[in-house]
Copies of this chain bind each other. A is one copy, B any other.
Amino acid sequence: MSGNSFGLLYCVTSFGESHGPAYGGVVDGCPPGLVLSAADLQKELDRRRPGGSRHVTQRRESDAVEILSGVYEGRTTGTPVGFLIRNEDARPKDYAAIAEKFRPGHADYTYLQKYGVRDARGGGRASARETVVRVAAGAIAKKWLKEKYGTQVRGYLAELGSKKLGFGRWEEVDRNVFFSSNAKVVPELEKLMDALREAGDSCGARVNVVASGVPVGWGEPVYGRLDADIAAAMMGINAVKGVEIGAGFAAIGQKGSEHGDEMTPDGFLSNHNGGVLGGISTGQDITVSIALKPTSSIRLPRRTIDGQGKPATIETTGRHDPCVGIRATPIAEAMLACVLMDHALRHRAQCGDVQPPLRLGRKA
């Protein structure tokens, strides 16, 4: 499989550039019979859409999605679901100034060196706008997982720069532009972002994603582990530099007597493993946490080189998110949903005849 597809059985293929005509995707492997319309995809696309507040890029895109195949009389047919999102507010000229310089921390340089050619319009293929495809594909996965297994995939912004947001309530997440589960911190976040924007700088973020209602048994050891595939899916999101499952890096300092989740007939007594043991889901919540680096396109001047390798200074003035992490929540949810759906299908392929011998409660 080539670099722009992921998933073995729920397989997502993506194409498109930030300032080209369109983005599109193909979802192959979706079971037939799922009630599906463009509105299901649109709902999730609207959550990640730019232009929603002054704290994100001011690019205006409706991100209107058209389903081109795979759905007949309102239901999936089992054939590939192709979909298209036209770029509407492309302004390739904005990028003329930076076309001949490399933004520190951006993929400008590596794309040119790898391919010998570079679509400099807004980052081209490297733009985070590509995540529309993931979100659309994730919307289908989310819907199927919910209907088939009652599985729910939800995320929230956990840290904005060095500010820890804490966890409040799931209901709050979609009520503010930050995807904060904690309403109280929102005014502070707004101030933080205003200051950042004014300074012409950017900051990093942490997003947590949780899948609840995952049955026990998903995941294929030893290389096709559920957590390995989740790690790839998360690290494959633009700007992500770290991934944790369960206790994550805190596990280093834990003793075995503390970390190992004890069990009773009522269920596990803790969830340090984040819902995965030996690469297979335990039936507990799957808990994932990711670190997003600060946006590389900032107004502050930075040292760089130009297309001839000469020293230069760069100040990026296009339309950018001062913190890419802010809009990352629906993207991370989508990626987790796609991985889970892929493994749900893989599991029933091999183990469709297995009845899990034990029924545990769902304590932790």
Contacts and interface: CB of A to CB of B under 8 A. Distances in A.
A235 B241 contact: no
A52 to B, nearest CB: 21
Contacts of A293: 247, 251, 254, 259, 272-273
Contacts of A325: 252
Nearest to A291: B249
Contacts of A29: 2-3, 349-350
A121 to B, nearest CB: 8
Interface in A308-364: 309-311, 325, 345-360
A26 B15 contact: yes
B298 A222 contact: no
B3 A294 contact: no
Given A161-B252, A310-B265, A259 B105 contact: yes
Nearest to A255: B201
Contacts of A159: 252
A81 interface: yes
Nearest to A248: B242
Given A32-B354, A225-B235, A296-B260, A8 B4 contact: no
Contacts of A11: 1-2, 5
A168 interface: no
A180 interface: no
Contacts of A264: 303, 305, 311
Most buried by B among A81, A231, A350: A350
Nearest to A230: B235
A236 B228 contact: yes
A231 B148 CA distance: 29
A224 B3 contact: yes
A119 B305 contact: no
A298 B260 contact: yes
Nearest to A301: B257
B28 A256 contact: no
Nearest to A235: B231
Given A161-B253, A242-B242, A117 B75 contact: yes
A245 to B, nearest CB: 5
Interface in A97-135: 102-107, 109-119, 121, 124-126, 130
Contacts of A203: 253-256
A273 B105 contact: yes
Nearest to A72: B119
Contact of A232 (B14, B216, B232, B258): B232
A115 B282 CA distance: 13
Interface in A275-303: 276-283, 291-296, 298, 300, 302-303
A294 B79 contact: no
Given A105-B273, A263-B104, A116 B355 contact: yes
Given A15-B81, A348-B349, 17 more contacts: A2-B9, A5-B5, A5-B13, A9-B346, A20-B68, A21-B69, A24-B24, A68-B84, A79-B221, A104-B261, A109-B263, A114-B218, A201-B255, A222-B236, A241-B244, A241-B251, A242-B251
12 contacts: A2-B7, A29-B350, A102-B263, A106-B260, A107-B278, A110-B281, A114-B219, A161-B255, A204-B251, A229-B232, A263-B303, A348-B352
